[in-house]
Amino acid sequence: MGITRRNFLKGSAAVGAAGAIALKGEPSKAQLKAPELRTKGLQRTTTICPYCAVGCGLVVDTKKGKVVNIEGDTVHPINKGSLCSKGSALIQVANNELRLGKVLYRAPKSDKWEEKSWDWAIGRIARLMKETRDRNFVSQEEVNGQTYTVNRNDGMAMIGAAALDNEECYLLGKFARAMGVGYLEHQARI
């Protein structure tokens, strides 16, 4: 006997009903053997992808302080769980033996890298920034015979990255203006 459209629909309805009954009943043997989620019992933290200005939400699972899984945050309004290829590979940033975990410094004209402390690095960055600011600071400018107070530092520029949140961008903006920096940008605008 050939299958008519009516028979096919009846059969589909019967299979669907049987499936619905099975779902409501006791779990099957196959369901009981289903493996547990690999993230079960881990510490879950939400955060934002550091790569680009889209700002996708992430869920990071850690075990004893080590990142063991990163995936898209399904309730995040921007990405709703999806991630691009870069975001999907983020665990390789967290766990990577090639990642630099200490300060390396190469002095001018040297061909060697020296290991330095974080305090040394921060002190050096602060000193060089201060020197650059002092060297390039313009307090007044004359335009059409009129003198204006400008307090401007033309020797420095600053740029915010996508990894910065609103509050960090606010602080960076305040800091830049305190240094007289006018060339202030953010990656999201470029």
- Closest to ligand SF4 by CB, 117 or 187: 187
Q: Quick one: which of 59, 60, 83, 176 contacts ligand SF4 (CB under 6 A)?
A: 83
- Closest to ligand SF4 by CB, 7 or 187: 187
- Closest to ligand SF4 by CB, 75 or 143: 75
- Closest to ligand SF4 by CB, 51 or 172: 51
CB of 162 to ligand SF4, least distance (A): 7
Q: Encode burial over 70-101: b for 16+ CB neighbours within 10 A, e otherwise.
A: bbbbeebeebeeebeeebeebeeeeeeeeeee
Q: Which residue is nearest to ligand SF4, using beta carbons?
A: 87
CB of 72 to ligand SF4, least distance (A): 7
The angle subtended at Cα 99 by Cα 98 and Cα 104, nearest 5°, is: 105
Is residue 58 within 8 Å of residue 52, measured between CB atoms?
A: no
Burial class (CB in 10 A: 0-12, 13-18, 19+), 169: middle
Number of residues that bind ligand SF4 (CB under 6 A): 11
For ligand SF4, the binding residues in 84-103 under the rule CB under 6 A are 84, 86-87
Binding-residue pattern over the window 41 to 80 for ligand SF4, x denoting contact by CB under 6 A? --------x-xx-xxx----------------------x-
The H-or-E segment that residue 21 falls in is helix 5-24
User: Is 188 a residue that touches ligand SF4 (CB under 6 A)?
Assistant: no
Is residue 42 within 8 Å of residue 63, measured between CB atoms?
A: yes
- Closest to ligand SF4 by CB, 34 or 190: 190
Rounded to a whole number of angstroms, the distance between the first and last alpha carbons of the chain is: 68
State whether residue 130 is helix, strand or coil: helix
**Cα–Cα distance measured from residue 164 to residue 173, given in angstroms and rounded to the nearest whole number:** 12
Residues lying near ligand SF4 in the complex (CB under 6 A): 49, 51-52, 54-56, 79, 83-84, 86-87
